[in-house]
Structure 1
Amino acid sequence: MENILKVLTTNNLLFILKGLLLTLQISFISIVLSTIFGTILAVMRNGKNKLLKLIASIYIEFVRNVPNLLWIFTIFLVFQIKSTPAGIISFTVFTSAALAEIIRGGLNAIDPGQTEAGLSQGFTQFQILRYIILPQAIRKMLPAIISQFVTVIKDTSLLYSVIALQELFGSAQILMGRYFEAEQVFALYLLVAAIYFLINFAISSFSRKLSQRWAQAAE
């Protein structure tokens, strides 16, 4: 017990907290940017312009089928970008492709008859998308987008092994190098696991409750 308490000092906890804040910062910025770019890609892939549809399809399929670890490595080394921006860009590149398919699924779930009804009322395609399709699609796809946020938070643990970014897991790894007792290392791993679990469980629970609330409202 005494060995474990040596690990859970104020300085160590503050160091891990700093890593947690960086994890949340990268995750939040990445998911916001990915939602914007993912929406654009989804609209492009669903559109009638063959060139834009082809570009979006190639991007989505190529990026989704290449490991995120490789994108992190490529963006950091090839483009010589600093660690934090490289982490944000790599996650935005990868997550945009994943979210594009989620958003496209939400858009396709809306009855095509609503588009025809909008056109008959004199709406443009953009107005139909903005005022009719998207508000309904958001209800269907937001829980999945929130779940993707959980994936991004967990996957930020890859950043330390590739670009030595001191996010949550990276901070714990640095601390582990200072301790040699098995119970001390285990205590650090347990602490980090508990932090990941509490954050992701809270987000997942919110997503489930949101889905249930919207399902009840639709009845």
Structure 2
Amino acid sequence: MNEFINAFHSVFTQGNILYMLRGLGVTLYVALISIILSTIFGTILALFRTYGNKALKAVSVTYIEIFRNTPNLLWVLAIRFMVRMPEPFDAPMYSGILAFTLFTSAVMAEIVRGGLNSIPQGQFEAAYSQGFGFFQTMIHIILPQCFKAIVPALLSQVITVIKDTSFLAQVAIEEFFNNSKWIMSAQIDSTVNQTVRVFIIFGFVALVYFVINFTLSCIVRSNRKKQTA
């Protein structure tokens, strides 16, 4: 018990807590911006693939298949070390955002395409009969229904992005998992059981990820129940 208490106090110092919280802020920021950008870009890709001409379909299919069939970590490494980000986006964090946006856009495109395919053709015919053009129909009628239908799949991808930000630790970007690893390896104290220390740190990291993602799941489930009530 004393070993656990000593290890706990060695991990949760004020400096360590602030360092991990700063990393958590980076994690959430990268995830949020990546999700927003990839949802926009993924929707465009889905529209190209579903309603575009042959050239647009070919471009979107090629992009989607390349990114869906290669590891996310590969793009994190490639963009971090091979792509020079322009100012003012030359901080390492932005290379992570770019990598996650490029990869997640392909997944989002397939999710949105599934939603678009679930919309009855009669919705288009009804909109056209009222004088709506294609873009008006998409913005005011089709896409709102599409996104309502794909909320569970979108949430699943949001959770995946939040968890996968831990890949950024491989390129020394100071996100939550990387900062926690640094605390684990730093400040070695011979009076503290290092095995217990590692257990506490990784347990805390797992707990934080679980709380964030489980909270998101509960919010969406609650909204879905209200909609179906």
**What is the alpha-carbon distance in structure 2 between the residues aligned to residue 214 and residue 66 of structure 1?**
37
**What is the alpha-carbon distance in structure 1 between the residues aligned to residue 204 and residue 7 of structure 2?**
15
C-alpha RMSD of matched pairs (Å): 1.3
2:23 matched to which residue of 1? Answer: 19
* Shift in Å, 1:215: 3.0
1:84 matched to which residue of 2? Answer: 93
User: SS of the residue aligned with 1:156?
Assistant: helix
1:204 to 2:217 alignment = yes
**Superposition TM-score, scaled by structure 1 size:** 0.94
**What is the alpha-carbon distance in structure 1 between the residues aligned to residue 102 and residue 24 of structure 2?**
22
1:14-65 deviations in whole A, cap 9, x for unaligned? 1100000000000000000001001100100011411101101110111111
**What is the alpha-carbon distance in structure 2 between the residues aligned to residue 16 and residue 198 of structure 1?**
16
Corresponding pairs, count: 215
Instruction: Say if 1:114 and 1:21 are closer, same or farther in 2 by CA, change over 3 A.
Output: same
1:98 matched to which residue of 2? Answer: 107
2:88 matched to which residue of 1? Answer: none
More displaced 10-residue stretch of structure 1: 127-136 or 202-211: 202-211
**What is the alpha-carbon distance in structure 2 between the residues aligned to residue 212 and residue 107 of structure 1?**
23
After TM superposition, where is structure 1 displaced by more than 4 Å over at least 4 residues in a row? none
User: SS of the residue aligned with 2:150?
Assistant: helix
1:108 matched to which residue of 2? Answer: 117
Percent of residue pairs identical: 45
1:155 to 2:164 alignment = yes
1:144-198 deviations in whole A, cap 9, x for unaligned? 212211110100001111x111100000010011246111111111111111110
* Shift in Å, 1:100: 0.6
1:117 to 2:137 alignment = no
**What is the alpha-carbon distance in structure 2 between the residues aligned to residue 210 and residue 99 of structure 1?**
21
1:130 to 2:139 alignment = yes
**Superposition TM-score, scaled by structure 2 size:** 0.90
1:78-98 deviations in whole A, cap 9, x for unaligned? 213341111000000000000
**What is the alpha-carbon distance in structure 2 between the residues aligned to residue 109 and residue 215 of structure 1?**
18
* Shift in Å, 1:205: 1.4
Long gaps (5+) in structure 2: 86-90
Long gaps (5+) in structure 1: none
**What is the alpha-carbon distance in structure 1 between the residues aligned to residue 64 and residue 6 of structure 2?**
52
* Shift in Å, 1:142: 2.3
* Shift in Å, 1:119: 1.5
* Structure 2 residue corresponding to 1:186, chosen from 187, 191, 199: 199
